[in-house]
């Protein structure tokens, strides 16, 4: 099956956007200075919305036909093994690093309150939830490697995916389906009037599952003439940019996600840009980058800055910008190594082991 390189590149660019968003928040004075000039880097939630849409599309691309013809045990086994192999090795590696950091920095000084407090970010209950991908919907606050909430929530969408496939394949008015599904996350943003709504707690599923379904429906729309039109490309690129920089317009960003996907899929200037070698490389690192960057942020603010005599809350915009640049470079370098030595080999080993076990079971 042909790999959708432009979607990989798009995912890489979005992951880097999330990194910039989180790293800028590390330095409040820099954050305020940037926001006073542009709101472009103030909407990290949009990138995660796009991840969910992209995931729904890719799952339909890879498994839609098979699951649409019926659910066999072999297909379900292959699907869930592949999803587990894709997500879990880096999840457990980053969690292990954070657990080590916690015991070295907190445990050494007897600061166990947050580990024993169920409401604490680094509680033992949250640790257990992170080990079994339940931290997103089932814990109502940030925990451990906080970006991983989205993986946990997306895993719930994966569980529903085999059941959603026949429903999506039977839909008639696909544009209406996209509009209705988009209305759910847009409604959540309007109701709460804050950007990070739906990152933890059961409400996160009201954000994730509709966006995932939008991606599934977008797969069925992919070959229609209008999805490759100049208007859609402009809506997906210029339109998205406008929503990112116009005050309060971010509420409508979930609607922009499928148009950005269509712009990346079809032959146009945007998709040609996504074929650039640096963006293809970034796409390859996207998952490891997304999972490792919060650790770089935590280690920098809790260990490195204090040792160097810096207080992140009082660092000037220029110095803060240098720190952000260094943190981004370090994150990219570490992500490349994580992908090379953990993500790829562990994924292939798990899938091979599962295939061997499955063959043994049916012989």
Mean pLDDT of the chain: 86
Q: Express each pLDDT in 142-174 by its tens digit.
A: 888 889 888 999 999 999 999 999 988 888 888
Q: What are phi and psi of 226, to 5 degrees?
A: -70, -25
Q: Where are the alpha helices (DSSP H) in 235-343?
A: 240-245, 253-265, 269-274, 277-299, 305-307, 317-338
CA dihedral 278, 263, 218, 226 (to 10 degrees): -160
d(CA 314, CA 16): 25
Residue 57 has pLDDT above 50, yes or no: yes
Whole-number pLDDT of residue 198: 64
Whole-number pLDDT of residue 184: 83
d(CA 197, CA 189): 7
d(CA 67, CA 166): 7
DSSP one-letter code for 307:
H
d(CA 47, CA 146): 15
Q: Are 199 and 156 in contact (CB under 8 A)?
A: no
d(CA 20, CA 311): 19
With bands split at pLDDT 50, 70 and 90, how would you rate the model's confidence at 139?
Answer: confident
Q: Pick the residue with more confidence: 180 or 12?
A: 12
Q: Are 293 and 97 in contact (CB under 8 A)?
A: no
Whole-number pLDDT of residue 193: 58
Q: Express each pLDDT in 304-347 by its tens digit.
A: 888 888 888 888 899 899 999 999 999 999 999 999 999 999 99
Structural domains in the chain (count): 1
Q: Are 173 and 163 in contact (CB under 8 A)?
A: no
Strand runs labelled E in 199-269: none
Q: Express each pLDDT in 65-96 by its tens digit.
A: 888 777 778 888 889 999 999 999 999 999 98
Q: How far does CA 295 lie from the centroid of its chain?
A: 15
d(CA 33, CA 154): 34
Residue 252 has pLDDT above 90, yes or no: no
Q: How far does CA 312 lie from the centroid of its chain?
A: 26
For the chain, give the percent of residues with pLDDT over 90. 39
Q: What is 26-85 written as a DSSP string?
A: TSHHHHHHHHHH-STTS-HHHHHHHHHHHHHHHHHHHHHHHHHT---HHHHHHHHHHHHH
d(CA 154, CA 151): 5
Q: Express each pLDDT in 98-128 by its tens digit.
A: 888 887 776 665 556 666 666 777 787 888 8
Q: Could you tell me the two tokens for 272?
A: 């040609």
Q: Are 211 and 254 in contact (CB under 8 A)?
A: yes
SS3 content of the chain, % helix, strand, coil (to 5): 80, 0, 20
Q: Pick the residue with more confidence: 184 or 290?
A: 290
For the chain, give the percent of residues with pLDDT over 70. 92
Q: Pick the residue with more confidence: 3 or 270?
A: 270
Whole-number pLDDT of residue 190: 77
With bands split at pLDDT 50, 70 and 90, how would you rate the model's confidence at 362?
Answer: very low
Whole-number pLDDT of residue 197: 65
Q: Pick the residue with more confidence: 111 or 242?
A: 242
- Count other Cβ atoms within 10 Å, centred on residue 131: 14
Residue 216, domain extent: 5-362
Q: Pick the residue with more confidence: 260 or 117?
A: 260
Q: Where are the alpha helices (DSSP H) in 300-343?
A: 305-307, 317-338
With bands split at pLDDT 50, 70 and 90, how would you rate the model's confidence at 363?
Answer: very low
Q: In 3D, which of 221, 292, 279 has the Cα closest to residue 22?
A: 292
Average pLDDT over residues 52-72: 88
Phi-psi region of 133 (alpha: psi -120 to 50; beta: other; left: phi over 0): left
């Amino acid at each position: 099956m042909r790999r959708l390189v432009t979607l990989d590149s798009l995912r890489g660019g979005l992951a880097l956007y999330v990194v910039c968003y989180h790293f800028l928040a590390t330095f409040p004075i820099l954050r305020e200075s940037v926001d006073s000039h542009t709101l472009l880097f103030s909407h990290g939630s949009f990138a995660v919305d796009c991840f969910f849409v992209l995931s729904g599309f890719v799952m339909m691309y890879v498994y839609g036909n098979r699951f649409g013809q019926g659910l066999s045990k072999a297909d379900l086994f292959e699907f869930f093994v592949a999803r587990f192999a894709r997500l879990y090795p880096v999840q457990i590696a980053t969690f292990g690093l954070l657990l080590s950091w916690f015991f070295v920095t907190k445990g050494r000084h007897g600061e166990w309150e947050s580990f024993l407090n169920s409401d604490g970010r680094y509680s033992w209950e949250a640790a257990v939830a992170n080990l079994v991908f339940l931290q997103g919907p089932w814990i109502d606050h940030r925990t451990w490697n906080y970006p991983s909430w989205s993986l946990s929530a997306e895993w719930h969408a994966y569980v529903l995916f085999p059941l959603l496939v026949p429903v999506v394949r039977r839909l008639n008015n696909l544009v209406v389906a996209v509009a209705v599904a988009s209305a759910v996350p847009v409604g959540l943003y309007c109701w709460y009037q804050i950007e990070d709504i739906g990152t933890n707690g059961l409400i996160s599923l009201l954000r994730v599952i509709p966006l995932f379904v939008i991606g599934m429906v977008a797969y069925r729309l992919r070959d229609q003439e209008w999805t490759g039109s100049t208007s859609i490309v402009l809506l997906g690129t210029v339109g998205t940019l406008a929503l990112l920089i116009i005050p309060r317009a971010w509420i409508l960003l979930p609607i922009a996600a499928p148009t950005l996907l269509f712009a990346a899929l079809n032959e146009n200037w945007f998709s040609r840009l996504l074929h650039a070698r640096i963006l293809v490389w970034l796409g390859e690192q996207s998952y490891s980058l997304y999972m490792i960057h919060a650790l770089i942020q935590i280690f920098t603010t809790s260990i490195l800055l204090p040792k160097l005599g810096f207080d992140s809350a009082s660092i000037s915009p220029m110095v803060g910008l240098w720190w952000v640049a260094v943190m981004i470079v370090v994150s990219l370098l570490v992500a490349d190594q994580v992908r090379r030595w953990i993500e790829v080999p562990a994924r292939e080993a798990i899938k091979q082991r599962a295939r061997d076990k499955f063959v043994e079971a049916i012989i």
